[in-house]
A and B are shown apart, each in its own frame.
Chain A
Amino acid sequence: MESVDYQNVISDKDIRRFPISITTTEVNLTGSWRFYKPEFKEKISPCSVGCPANTNIPKYIHYLLKNDMDRAVEVLRRENPFPATCGRVCPHFCQSKCNRKDYDGAVEIKQIERFVGDYALKVPPKKAKVLSSKKVAVVGGGPAGLSCAYFLALGGYRVDLFEKERFLGGLLIYGIPDYRLPKEVATKEIENILEVGNINVNLGVDVNKEKVEELKKNYDAVFVALGLSEDKTPGNVAIDNEHVFSGYELLKEIKVNGRVDLDGDNISVLGGGNVAFDIARSIRRAGKDVNIICMETLETSPAFEDEKKEAIEEGIKVVDSRFLQNLKITDRGLHLQLRGVDKVLDNYEPVLNDYVEYMDTDILIVAIGRKREESILGIEGVFFGGDFYNGAKTVIEAVASGKKAAFEIMAKLEGKEFKLMNEDDQFFRSTDDFDEYKVIPFERININYFSEQKPIKLSRLAANERVNNFNEIVMKPSLEKILREAKRCFSCGVCNECKTCWFFCPDMCIDVHEKVDFDYSFCKGCGVCSEECPRGVIDMVEDK
């Protein structure tokens, strides 16, 4: 048979292409599909707003959970140089703002702060450099003055600090009893502040009006936080240090000597604030019977709830809604005439009723508040802060006031106008640079990523274990408990690298490392990351 000549074999050329894909879709830059783009924008947690010092609570909790304690300490100290102190004595306004409060109970921030603060005691802060030739005088070595000095020092200014007493710390050292704040804690924390450098401490310097005027001339700025210098007394009572004592002075004596000797077993304390309860409880620790007499009802009296509760546990009797109308010194001691009080007005004036009661007591301790040295307040061009300016407030409020003053001073010295970064929120932070200050409400929390869990229970010394000593009452929770509690934090508005955005990005365009980075070459702008972020740190913005 005839045959036609054909090419005998197949060459590569004959089979050139197969329907096989061997390259990647990465040539397809899907970022061009986008109308909106995600942006990483951290926001403000309500607890930070609640904190007078605006501590970035979620952030330090995040570092705690990351087992990066140094970073946690750094974040805490960025706003507050007294974390170990505040972790004990601060009423934690933050907790009352916590988004978890009405969900399953606020995060026990106080104990977390105490935990990190105690760690911080062992970590001195980094030395600050001197960046300016200008000098600032700070008068008063309490929490406000120390905070002001601390932030100024961090800002590169040299500070001369003046303190009347032999030690720095004010009420931290001379006021708050050890069972609430051990002296060593406050002392260490103050030492750490001084570690920053740039602070020249002058102890035993009593500053009066003339001295302030002088400082004003010699320094580029002066901050005065003298605290409250004089006891208030009821009109018909005078402190004689025989039958009638100053609560403040007694507390100081106890802090310095560890004890106080009073003649008499039946002691009455006048006042409903923390000082009244502190002195009452301190004296109770000497085995004496103590009454607290206050104008308010027990519930409305201004002392911290814990204080009141613990005082009653310790056997202190609270005679509330009573006004000391008269006092007679007798052979057996003091005879008090008390009137019933219907209510207490805003200016601390009681509205009395007809009820009259008499009470005998060996000693009366007055703790109804203290006054400031008004004459200094009139000096212009001087910055004021702390209790001296704000009246009796909490430690954290003193810290906040010192911090605010420091920034105001620095703004002034640098010729800038100081303004709070967000007036509405009373929020300022020294170093973080947010473009948008927005507080994350509970509704912004993607609750699907959380489940209900009650806060940890705190262990306290029982009343009979504490009435004969000054040991701390709230025991330190275990690390396990602290971490469990820390995990409850929603981390509102603050990235805690949970990677939810990364997980749900359909386009693999997210990298989470400290913050969230987006690969805009491929991000299609779907917005799932923003929607799913449990804490609202990703915003979708128009992509122009």
Chain B
Amino acid sequence: MIEIRFHGRGGQGAVIASKILAYAYFLDGYHSQAFPTYGAERRGAPVAAYVRVDDKFINVRSPVVNPDYVIVMSGKLADTVDVSSGIKENGLILINSELNADYYNFEEKCRVMCFDVSGIALKYGLGTKIMPIINVPILGVFSKITNSVSLESLKRATPRFVSTGIDKNIEALEEAYNLA
């Protein structure tokens, strides 16, 4: 079973990203599950979302506490939220950040990778400079570096959960995949 945890802020689309990812896994032939930890839905507040993937039906419904992968939608979050919490040994933390991965110094034994997804998002007009919408392109990066979900499935899954700018999102997704 693969367990993935998203960290984002309200409005960044972490929950949608988790759904697209789970659905892409489903399209790849896996059993998957996605769910958020909801508070009240407030823009800017930290949110988490989870994805589980397995080759059999997933029974467990508790939050993911020992993720294989952590996807952090905003570098700033890593400063305030314990994003590495419980990560499996050799787990991977993917952070949307212009900074170098060395900047992040987590206690856990894990890999860290930074990628400026915001730059790609802005290039495709996704969101604003202050709040770029990176939830789709970051999945391209994730697909490339983990090789656990296909780009094709992500492209197919995206329109189901994204209501506006589908084409731009998919172009950004592809570019992120290619650049990663």
Direct contact of A and B (CB under 8 A): no
